[in-house]
Every structure is written in structure tokens, then in C-alpha cells.
Amino acid sequence: MDQNALKKLVGEYALKYVNDDDMIVGVGTGTTVKYFIDALATIKHKIQGAVSSSEASTALLKSYGIHVYDLNSVDKLDIYVDGADEIDHNLNMTKGGGAALTREKIIAAVAKKFICIADESKYVGVLGAFPLPVEVIPMARSYVARQIVKLGGTPVWRENVLTDNGNWIIDVHNLQILNPVEFEQKLNNIVGVVTNGLFAARGANELVLGRANGQVEVIKR
Ligand code: 5RP
């Protein structure tokens, strides 16, 4: 099966987690999540609505007539469904390829269960081959980049991209992230960093993995 077909497969499979009437569903961002949103639309009468991690997902949810709640008005979120750029065997992830990492990390923090949906190409032994996104306050870009070099990474400014929060993205190349929790913390400690795309302190609870042969495997943390 090609990658797109696998994204559709896992996006549709994740509907199984929307199993309580009147649920509010946490919705991520990206091409895999788009398939989840398409599937969610088919049961929209059963759910209360969604909270969304990006303007793009919000627009798609609304186009289907799914109510999008402000996260501040939601005190309980059972599930958050999102993709990843890479996910390791302990279900630590790198995210932010679509520049939505900050809102994604906030919703992930609120949700009881993070369900990651991914095709097999994202499942890796060691994170870091995919450049790690870091959202920065614009005036701190050069300073943050210099600190990243000291940590062993090669920072590249993602020019012409403004996040939904009005910030900039630095993609960190040439990493081999052997201790994800520690590295996430180190990046967080750099002044001017809003969020980094390592989801290790709060990784996924379950991975819905689309295998190249068309099988879906569910891996639990
Ligand atoms: C967006 C993300 C996405 O989940 C990640 O980039 C994967 O995207 P896709 O499903 O399009 O491959 O973190 O910020």
C-alpha cells in the first residue's frame, strides 16, 4: 500500500476511539489527521464537537459542521488524535512538520489519551533523521540558533513560515536523539523557545500504525 493509502487507513481506524456519545474530540494537524477528520464527519451527530490544534484543522472541521470548542471552555478531554513526523518504539515523537506543534502540545497535555496515527515510514529506532521543529519568538531566532549549535544540532530557519501564534520555526538537522526526555528539557530551557517538537515528557499512549502490507497494528506504551 502506498503512504497515502496507509494514512487513510489509520485515520479511519482511529474512529474506534470515539466511542462515547457526546464526546469532545481532540484533533491534531496534518495530512494523516485530515483522513481522521473526514471519518469523524461521518459520525458528527454522535459527538459534541472538537478542540483543534490549528487554523487548518479548525477550518476543515467547521466545513463539516463540527463544532470547534475553545480549549479554555473544556475541562475534560478523553482523547487526542494526531500524527507524527517520527515515532520511536517507546512512543516518543517528533512533531511540527506542519508548524502546529505548540497548540498540539497544549492539547496533548490536556488529553487523557494521545492516540498517534502513522504509517510505517514514521516508525523509527532513534528520533532525529526528520529535522526537529522548534517554534521561537522572532526576535530570539539567532540566539536560539546559536544555543542549538552548542547542543550539537544544525539549525535552519524555515523562512516564510509564520505559525498560527505569530512565531517562527527553526528546523534542527543532524540529530540523533538518544535521550528524548532530557533533550526536550534542554531545548525548553533556551530563552526564546516557545515549544519544541519533541513529545517525550508526554508521548503517545497508543500508536495506530499502518504497516506497508496494509495491516493495522496497535502498539501501547
Ligand atoms: C503538524 C504535525 C503533524 O502531525 C506531522 O507533521 C505529521 O504530518 P503528516 O500526517 O502530514 O505526515 O506535527 O505540526
> What's the pLDDT tens digit per position in 171-203?
999 999 999 999 999 999 999 999 999 999 999
Task: Using the mean position of ligand 1's atoms as its centre, give its distance from the Cα of residue 189 in Å.
Answer: 24
Q: What is the pLDDT of residues 84-120, one digit of tens each?
A: 999 999 999 999 999 999 999 999 999 999 999 999 9
Q: Of all atoms in ligand 1, which is nearest to the CA of residue 34?
A: 10
Nearest to 51 by CA among 110, 135, 117, 115: 110
Q: Is 52 a residue whose pLDDT tops 90?
A: yes
Query: Which residues have CB under 8 Å from 96's CB, separation 6+?
Result: 85, 104, 132, 133, 134, 135, 169, 195, 196, 197
Q: Which residues are catalytic?
A: 104
Show the ligand 1 pocket: residues with CB < 6 angstroms.
28-32, 82-85, 95-101, 104
Q: Of all atoms in ligand 1, which is nearest to the CA of residue 30?
A: 11
Please state the length of the chain. Answer: 221
User: Helices 55-63 and 31-41 sit at what angle, rounded to 10 degrees?
Assistant: 30
* Residue with CA nearest ligand 1 atom 10: 32
Task: Using the mean position of ligand 1's atoms as its centre, give its distance from the Cα of residue 94 in Å.
Answer: 9
Q: Which of 4, 10, 29, 87 to mutate to test the pocket of ligand 1 (most atoms within 8 A of CB)?
A: 29
Query: 0.95 exceeded by the pTM?
Result: yes
Dmax (CA) for the chain in angstroms is: 52
